[in-house]
Amino acid sequence: MSGRLEGRLVALGVTGSIAAYKAVELARRLAAEGAELQVLMSRAAQAFVGPLTFETLTRRRVMADPLELLADGRIGHVVVADTADVIVVAPATARWLAAMAAGLADDVITATCLASAAPVVVAPAMDGEMWDHPATRANAARLQSYGYTVVAPESGPLASGQSGVGRLASAERIIEAVVIAVAGRPVRAPEAALRPPADASAREPDLVGRRIAVTAGGTAEPIDPVRFIGNRSSGRMGVAVAAAALARGAEVTLIAGSVSVPLPEAATVVRAATSAAMRAAVLEALPVCDALVMAAAVADFRPRWPAERKLQRTEGLTLELEPTTDILAEASRIAHGLDAEGAPTREPLHPRPVLVGFAAETGDLDRAAAKLARKRVDLLVANDVSEPGSGFGSETNRVTVLAADGSVEPWPLLSKREVADRLLDRVAALMEARDAAPRPAEVTR
């Protein structure tokens, strides 16, 4: 992969604006341009976006305090100041512009800018009146007089409910300004040892340009407007796959049922409470994804006649259940161009998404191999959810991975993140093999 910021260290400062969430997508796109990232956050920014989101994306600890020392004793913001090729502050609040204009080093971003000879790109975002205020304008002009690039905000609807100039500039405009700011400058500190430390377990961004759809969590099948049939899935495994894929540069659509863990903000999240909603979301994502990982625990049965009003206890209750659609099997049939009996009926999707299923079993895993063949998936991740340290709600998982080529790999007890990364290694290899195979004559998308 080569981008316009290949090998550059970009320090991304995020301050306490409602637009702070847009910095997540900006970080992802800077990484897709080949940049390494060190995120710096003001205290207020952390009320808008969690550092964990940036840490997952950048595989570096966020710096949020000018007093912070690195594990080796170096002063955090000075290391960033000395090694960053460019500092980008996006979004920049009115308060931050004022602090920087005055040279007031009371947050980690101003401290870094003051200590650095790197070019600085500032993208303000605020309410229209705030941006129009003479104090803010004078502060922005002051920053320009330091040689900083100010990427002016755009006009449109604002968080205040009003419309006006104050919206954070688009990621394209900010990245364009960053590329111009570093053009012709040598990389300041190419040696990894001089830069702020990266997570030793960081993976290469080998999934840039890949679109991965992941389902996570359980479904809730309504009995009446307030009651449902659910299951114990926490969504941890699917969310771990989504987070790992994002960290490796993929575009991720996370189709989330009921989950009890935070969702990665850089994913496109589609909420799907019931098996029917999940089916619809999966079938929509299928034709435009490179891989589909079905880690959700979808109900196998649902009440045939959900009541429209809340049932009274005195009425008693006998539920008639009907089977739900097997979403993975249906997605697989569409991907392979088969009808319900397995006969070719239409052209397969091309490129055909790599299909990964999960099978939560209790006891022996013999049924998993039959499931893999019946559903024609590329990989089936089987686990015994009754085993300690495995399955629902747990941080770890011991799985056996079965592949369409007949291989069966029992993996040791691993964190769900490690399971996710190993699984993505297999998915990446399958996508590469698929892309290297000769294309069939018929192309449907």
Pick between residue 45 and residue 428 the one whose CB is nearest to ligand FMN. 45
Closest approach of Cβ 98 to ligand FMN, in Å?
A: 9
Pick between residue 39 and residue 241 the one whose CB is nearest to ligand FMN. 39
**What is the DSSP code (8-state) at residue 4?**
T
Q: Using CB positions, name the residue nearest to ligand FMN.
A: 16
Closest approach of Cβ 122 to ligand FMN, in Å?
A: 12
Closest approach of Cβ 136 to ligand FMN, in Å?
A: 8
In this structure, are residues 173 and 151 in contact, taking their beta carbons and an 8 Å threshold? yes
**Residue 334 to residue 352: CA distance in whole angstroms:** 10
**Residue 43 to residue 57: CA distance in whole angstroms:** 20
Q: Exactly one of 139, 231, 383, 397 is catalytic; name it.
A: 231
Burial string for 146-180 (b: 16+ CB within 10 Å, else e) reads eebbbbebeeeebeeeeebebbbbebeebbebbbe
Catalytic annotation on 231? yes
**Residue 434 to residue 52: CA distance in whole angstroms:** 34
243 — phi, psi (to 5°)?
A: -65, -40
Closest approach of Cβ 104 to ligand FMN, in Å?
A: 11
Pick between residue 150 and residue 289 the one whose CB is nearest to ligand FMN. 150
**Residue 51 to residue 421: CA distance in whole angstroms:** 21
Closest approach of Cβ 109 to ligand FMN, in Å?
A: 8
Pick between residue 44 and residue 413 the one whose CB is nearest to ligand FMN. 44
The terminus-to-terminus CA distance of the chain in angstroms comes to 24
My answer on whether omega of the bond before 351 falls inside 30° of 0, hence cis, is yes
Provide the strand spans (E) within 147-188. Answer: 149-150, 154-157, 163-167
Residues in touch with ligand FMN (CB under 6 A): 15-19, 42, 44-45, 93-96, 107, 125-126, 130, 159
Catalytic residues: 231
